[in-house]
Amino acid sequence: MHDYTPAGDGVFALEQVLMLQTGKPYPLGASFDGEGVNFALFSEHASRVELCLFDATGRLETHRIALAACTNGVWHGYLPQAKPGQLYGYRVHGEYAPQRGQRFNPHKVLLDPYAKAVFGQFAIDDANLGYCPQDQTQINTQDNTPVAQKAIVVAEAFDWGDDTAPQTPWANTVIYEAHVRGLTQLHPDIPAAIRGSYAAIAHPVMLAHYQRLGISAIELLPVHLHADEPRLQKLGLENYWGYNTLSFFAPEPTYWSGREGTTPLAEFREMVKALHKAGIEVILDVVFNHTAETDELGPTLSFRGIDNASYYVLNAQHPEYYENWTGCGNVLNIGHPRVLQLVMDSLRYWVSECHVDGFRFDLAPILGRVNGGYSLCAPFFAALAQDPLLANTKLIAEPWDIGAGGYQLGHFPLAWAEWNDQYRDVMRKFWLHDGVNRALFARRFAASSDTFYRPHRQPSTSVNFVTAHDGFNLRDLVSYNHKHNHANKEHNRDGHSHNLSWNCGVEGPSNDEGVKLLRLRASKALLATLLLSQGTPMLLAGDELGHSQQGNNNAYCQNNDITWLNWGAGSQADGELIDYIAELIRIRRECQALSSNTWWTSQPDAAGVTDVVWLNPSASPMQPHDWDDHGGRAMMVWLSNQFLILMNASAHQVHFHLPPLNEGEWTMRLASTGDTQSDFSGRDCRVAARSVTILQLKK
């Protein structure tokens, strides 16, 4: 969108003599104290580290100064009169011996892992390769100064005013997963100059939308600076999702509006402040499992050239290769104390300096691996648990990676919540297919207690979702039987083929009113189930608009209207689904069984209120044969003696006999069909195929 051009007054003239002082080994990175800048870089195996300074264009190296001091593996120096805005990088000397795990190459300008702002973008260039393209065993002596990304010294004060974190209890949390650009890029009521930016996320139009829905937290796909993989660049594509991090501190500059007087960091902070004022928490999707340097054939941009053997998990028998439990070419070595420090410093930075409220950890089992195996006693988990700043943030795991023993659903520390893919699959099967009995449905509806229940864990541990950024969105889930990923230029081989979707009779868009009605009913039934289940619900941005990705279930490389939400003509942004979701969230918050965050017992409490009662359509308690009947597609869930949820996943209308009441009467609260009157007598109710009806007890 815009180039982030640093201030030029921090650049030294060539003839100026620079006297580098010893400085301090902490904090790592570039730290401005008002009079100069302290530089500190960890490299355990380096023989020499040089600080490189550049002019404002980033193409001219003005100075190269050796950091003579090294304390416990941290090379450091203090440069008087250096100022914010100064461009810098490092050249790190040492052994170039891939067969022994080291890839030092002083011909490469390297990005500071602690850079809080970055100049330039990564582009394919042989100069960024540490090895000789003709012979990978030989060092590449081509200097990469003109194309290397440079760090920028940052010291941005920010007036947080009376900013206060919402601190929404887990029991009241409703998450809205969104992409910074895709959420607002096509919004007609947001000024064109800021669409797709941090500023647009916090525009009053968007704040009103979040509040209308009733969500309590926005979970943003990665906002750390990332790089587009060379493979994608050669195909003319981009890593749109951003799961290819290069800097764990710098906000992605392409999400900055470029407004005069702001920077990416300042605009991000303004976004957080505005969201907090509206009562919305900010959760960041973070990627600490791998970096953008990919495999042994990837570029040397930062970590690889600084200390390859420390920053990455290498193959024990062949250190020239990387372990690849991520599927992205490398694995960050969180088990190393300094790499763990890097990750912890990053998390603390985003909380302390940017006021974010929590994190969703991509491929989180990798963070818990010790000597290759997963362990609850992993250093990363211990470090988080004892950290006074981070211990009270929301921590969410994607509980799988592709390494051995990589599926760890239900096995994260007590304070963590986890994405529950078992919930997703069961609910899709129940509403769109056969093969799920009511017992399995109930277990998932009740926060998957069979997976998550253990002493001191709460139902909110289960982050329930039906759709997420990865896979079909809701509109496509009921519109396509098969993935259609041809735009990704991989001959439709990428993306998951086991989607448990159903096209309702027609593959793709349809003008058939019957098909359209069936799709809307199925969508509403899934949304009702999601928002009335015990656990923490997560909505995918755009599902409330009926947005379609044209059948693409792996749109990670589609920075276009496939992923940009459609707020205009042809969408369902007329408010039908928005108001429906909003009413479901209101019901959720009124219901004690869903807001108490205690496991259901089906037993009355001291006040005589029973959290949940499971009933068959005749209003009788569910019996073993009812639970096990795979043909049984209808049931009632009575919550807190207050709400009666009638679910009919069958292909035909079902007659429900309502449970008798000692006092009061049943009244219609919400029907997914939109018809709140027909076939409801107060004692009986006929529920349409693939629909949900919610009754409320009025005394």
Q: What is the pLDDT of residues 30-56, one digit of tens each?
A: 999 999 999 999 999 999 999 999 999
Let me know how long the chain is. Answer: 699
DSSP E strands: which ranges in 446-495?
A: 462-464
> Is 653 found in the same domain as 570?
no
Please indicate, yes or no, if residue 1 is contained in any of the structural domains: no
Please indicate, yes or no, if residue 159 is contained in any of the structural domains: no
Domain boundary among 120, 152, 184: 152
> Is 344 found in the same domain as 309?
yes
> Is 473 found in the same domain as 363?
yes
Please indicate, yes or no, if residue 15 is contained in any of the structural domains: yes
> Is 518 found in the same domain as 462?
yes
Q: Pairing state of beta strands 48-54 and 61-66?
A: antiparallel
Q: What tokens does 4 get?
A: 């982030």
CATH label of the domain that carries residue 662: 2.60.40.1180
Please choose, from the candidates 182, 175, 216, the residue with its C-alpha nearest in 3D space to the C-alpha of residue 197. Answer: 182
- What pLDDT is stored for residue 24 in this prediction? 98
> Is 489 found in the same domain as 405?
yes
What residue numbers bound the domain in which 558 lies? 171-445+453-529+540-583
Domain boundary among 583, 615, 650: 583
> Is 635 found in the same domain as 557?
no
CATH label of the domain that carries residue 373: 3.20.20.80
Dihedral sign, CA of 145, 287, 358, 565? Answer: positive
Whether cis (ω within 30° of 0) applies to the bond prior to 27 is yes
Please indicate, yes or no, if residue 484 is contained in any of the structural domains: yes
User: What per-residue string of b and e applies to 226-256 under the rule 16 or more CB within 10 Å gives b?
Assistant: bbbbbebeeeebbbbbbbbbbbbbbbbbbbb
* Catalytically annotated residues: 362, 398
CA-CA distances (angstroms) from residue 592 to 217, 588, 670? 21, 8, 18
Please indicate, yes or no, if residue 157 is contained in any of the structural domains: no
- What pLDDT is stored for residue 435 in this prediction? 79
Please state the domain count of the chain.
Answer: 3
- What pLDDT is stored for residue 2 in this prediction? 42
pLDDT digits (tens, 9 = 90+) for 197-246: 999 999 999 999 999 999 999 999 999 999 999 999 999 999 999 999 99
Q: With a cut of 50, list the residues of the chain below it in pLDDT.
A: 1-16, 570, 573
Please indicate, yes or no, if residue 145 is contained in any of the structural domains: yes
> Is 257 found in the same domain as 140?
no
> Is 330 found in the same domain as 301?
yes
pLDDT digits (tens, 9 = 90+) for 280-311: 999 999 999 999 999 999 999 999 999 999 99
d(CA 351, CA 357): 7
Q: What 3-state DSSP class applies to 529?
A: helix
> Is 641 found in the same domain as 552?
no
Please indicate, yes or no, if residue 378 is contained in any of the structural domains: yes
Please indicate, yes or no, if residue 648 is contained in any of the structural domains: yes
> Is 490 found in the same domain as 421?
yes
3-class SS string, 351-370: HHCCCCCEEEECCHHHHHEE
> Is 472 found in the same domain as 413?
yes
Q: What 3-state DSSP class applies to 390?
A: coil
The dihedrals phi and psi of 400, each to the nearest 5 degrees, come to -150, 150
> Is 612 found in the same domain as 544?
no
